[in-house]
Chain A
Amino acid sequence: MMKKISILHLGGTISSKVDYKTGGVSSKFSEKDMLELYPEIKKIAKISSRLIANMLSEDMNFQHYNLISKEIQKEVKKGTEGIIITHGTDTLHYTSAALSFILEHLPIPVILVGAQRSSDRGSSDAELNLICALNFIAQSNFSGIAVCMHSSTSDDACLILPPTKSRKIHSSRRDAFKAINSKPIARVTKQGNIGFIKKITEKNGNFKLYLFNPDLKIGILKSHPNLSSLEIKNYSKFDGLVIEGTGLGHIAVNKIDSLTNENENVLKELKKLAKKIPIIMTTQCIFGRTNLDVYSSGRKLQEAGILGTQLDMTTETAFIKLAWLLSNHKKEEIPKLINKNYRNEISSRTSLDFLDYVYT
């Protein structure tokens, strides 16, 4: 018997089409358009489809993560066996991480699908992404959140990517999403052949939601040369900060000569801020693990109260995790909880092939 799968539309390129009035692309796609455009999807599963929002993903905030999660909860209660969420690609990896944290012991597969080329063009990548995601749900026992996007620039297979360890790393290519510090979960061909790459072990338990506090203000600061202490001061009214450090997790805090006086101020401001809010260090290298023990600047940062050493979370996942922890726990618990692995967002080993393994 065919599985019951719901497609929840959130908008984005996958559900964009030309607006003949403005000449630009906008998310004006109805849920019916999707079924009309891809009639073949009805052969894979029993499809129902509805619109939750119609937006570009860069416009989303924490409230949307709560809204989507509640919609997923409704579907689970209705007996839906799998969900596809169509989503803009720009912040899709933030959403996938957020949903992972919110939805504990999610009993069904929920696959986020995007497209880099809108559905109204003949060469859109939407069809393959959608069909691979449907096939993956229809033919596997997977449960939990995942992302489904093109495996290469060819239209032949997609990767099922881990929700807390993936990222958009290209502005326009259809294979823009890659696993970061992890392997993909599986590779799915258009014909529905599934090759599992990484085993995901989900603990059994009661399905429960831990939502975001939409009032939280969390910042992301990218470390860079010629940093001013004013940039640190900007975050004084925030609830939390992620610093995307250079290399192993660094920011300018060493005064070594008369030219580096400002660095002293940076360290001073960081110390002040770390007393008020949790600050998590990640790496702007994208791949790899932080380590604040190797260089003196890293040690100074740890002394100042900066968290996040020896973790391999992406900046985006660290940002979502910090917001989620602050939404559900006391501020004082963050130094301990940030190191706890909740949703496979931290890998214990850094495997050699995380960076350049080719999945064909």
Chain B
Amino acid sequence: MEKLNYKKLGFKAGLEIHQQLDGKKLFCKCPVKTNKKETPDLTIKRKIRAVAGESGKKDIAALYEEKKDKTFIYEFYQDCNCLVEIDEEPPNNINQDSLEAALQLSLLLKAKIEPKIKIMRKIVIDGSNVSGFQRTMLISTNGKIKTSKGTVKIETILLEEEAAKKIASNGKDITYRLDRLGVPLIEIATSPDIKDPEHAKETAETIGMILRSIDLTKRGLGTIRQDINLSIKNSPRIEIKGFQDLRSIPKITEYETKRLINDPPKKGEVRKAEKDLTTTFLRPLPGKARMYPETDHKEIEITGDLLSKITPPELITERTLNLERKYNLSPQLAAEIVKKKVGFIRYTKEFPRLSPKIIAYILVEAPKELRSRFHVTKKLKASDFEFIIENLNSNKIPRDAILDVFLKLSKGLHPNLTQYSSLSDKEIEKTIETIIAENQGAPFNALMGIAMSKLKNRVEGKKIAETIKKFT
């Protein structure tokens, strides 16, 4: 197939990236967690009607949904829901941690932070927000990132509430699960500076890396979502939602561009990215009368005091490079240390006697070895790592015994460290003399085998070999 000339087509695209934050919810103290229970603690039924926004006109997208006259069924879970999510209590004060994370991000993206943050209500009447609106606030504007194809401007950085997750729909009733509702969500919107589908992927990857550089960023499936806004000359704007994988961005964007060339729609559309790399119609593009002020929360002043406390974290890429250089680690090991947040730097500071390489081995490579060699699937606890590093530091565990101790810990056993306690040269010599006496005439390798099994984990192999040689 002929390659498209995106420049000639007047291709314009921007990204909208949504990233969930961990910790507590944005306007209450409920924990951010995914419900694992089968049945909800409570099911409630609600109706939502379209209301006029600030301009006084009912939003066209909102009206479109209202026509369907739906009943919304909400699944409520005591451990991660309170009255705030079911619109039975006004919002509590904004979660300061998520606000600070949004400010950190703004600094990383070199965006201009708003001096006063006004919380707005964005009308959403598909039922995914119990209140009928999503709380959202503009944190900063005019940021930028560098890409291989030039600067991509960041128009806006918003902090908002995540919507509830749709569970079922049967025409009239739609069921939503409320665990996700109210989770802090950062929205980053770029300018339409993206030049082609590959560039869209690169931009998404760069922004993703920057987001992951922030401590509070939630990890895992569904915690980040990318939408693409695109148009070509003489076509309306199309929004594509629901990319499962960044790798599908170029193909789906290319498909959509071809659709715009061959069969352009009359009006703007919101479309869903499908697994077969095509897109399907979701709803008309929402109109502009979607916002009105949140009256239940005061304006948030971003004081100099607050800003002076915010330090942007080092980017993952910088962090990795610095680790490589400072500790002489391989790029791959450094990347894993950063990605897995294993507390490497803390341990190196706490235990300066241990080499950074052995700490890296314990934190990153030993767990992998346990998985591949001993089929340990259980996740090791932070306290397990701590135990091993501490005892290695105080010579209670020899290096050779690290995996053995891990194995015991993974089985929930408390290892008896005296079995690893190192022996004096005299004790080693006595044991080896006995072995030689009991196995007269045995070759070196046989003696070595017997001695290893007896002194395993307590004496290093090298030392055993030297002692055997001394007495034979």
Contacts and interface: CB of A to CB of B under 8 A. Distances in A.
- Asked if chains A and B come from one complex, the reply is yes
Interface of A: 18, 20, 23-25, 37, 116-117, 119-124, 127-128, 152-156, 171-174
Interface string B427-441: 000000000000000
Nearest to A176: B88
A171 B84 CA distance: 13
A173 B88 contact: yes
Contact of A18 (B118, B292, B299): B292
Given A122-B133, A127-B49, 16 more contacts: A20-B293, A24-B295, A37-B51, A117-B131, A120-B51, A121-B133, A122-B123, A122-B131, A123-B46, A124-B51, A128-B47, A152-B44, A153-B86, A172-B83, A172-B89, A173-B88
Nearest to B124: A122
B62 to A, nearest CB: 8
Contacts of B125: 122
Nearest to B131: A123
Interface size class of chain B, counting residues whose CB lies under 8 Å from the partner chain: 20 to 34
Nearest to B299: A23
A17 B38 CA distance: 40
A4 to B, nearest CB: 26
17 contacts: A24-B295, A120-B51, A120-B52, A120-B292, A121-B121, A122-B51, A122-B123, A123-B87, A123-B130, A123-B132, A127-B49, A155-B45, A155-B47, A172-B88, A173-B83, A173-B89, A174-B88
Interface of B: 44-52, 54, 83, 86-90, 118, 121, 123, 125, 130-133, 292-293, 295, 299
A147 to B, nearest CB: 19
B94 to A, nearest CB: 16
A23 B295 contact: yes
Contacts of B299: 23
Contacts of A127: 47, 49
Nearest to A120: B51
Contacts, number: 66
Contacts of A23: 118, 293, 295, 299
A221 to B, nearest CB: 30
A116 B88 CA distance: 8
Nearest to A173: B88
Which of B44, B46, B50, B131 has the most chain A CB atoms closer than 10 A to its own CB? B46
Contacts of A156: 45
Contacts of B295: 18, 23-25
The 6 closest A-B pairs by CB, nearest first: A122-B132, A154-B45, A122-B48, A172-B89, A123-B132, A173-B88
B166 to A, nearest CB: 17
B54 A20 contact: yes
B68 to A, nearest CB: 14
Contacts of B132: 121-123
Contact of A155 (B46, B89, B123, B131): B46
Contact of A153 (B44, B50, B133, B293): B44
A1 to B, nearest CB: 28
Contacts of A172: 83, 88-90
B299 to A, nearest CB: 7
B171 to A, nearest CB: 18
Contacts of B50: 122
Which of B44, B48, B83, B87 has the most chain A CB atoms closer than 10 A to its own CB? B87
Contact of A154 (B44, B49, B54): B44
A174 B132 CA distance: 15
A87 to B, nearest CB: 20
Contacts of B89: 171-173
A173 B121 CA distance: 20
A18 B293 contact: yes
Given A23-B299, A173-B83, A122 B44 contact: no
A153 B85 CA distance: 12
B135 to A, nearest CB: 12
Nearest to A22: B295
Contacts of B133: 121-122
A311 B27 CA distance: 43
Contacts of A25: 295
Which of A18, A20, A25, A173 has the most chain B CB atoms closer than 10 A to its own CB? A18
A116 B89 CA distance: 9
Contacts of A122: 48-51, 123, 125, 131-133
Contacts of A20: 54, 292-293
A74 B377 CA distance: 80
Contacts of B90: 172
Given A23-B299, A174-B88, A121 B45 contact: no
B88 to A, nearest CB: 4
A128 B46 CA distance: 10
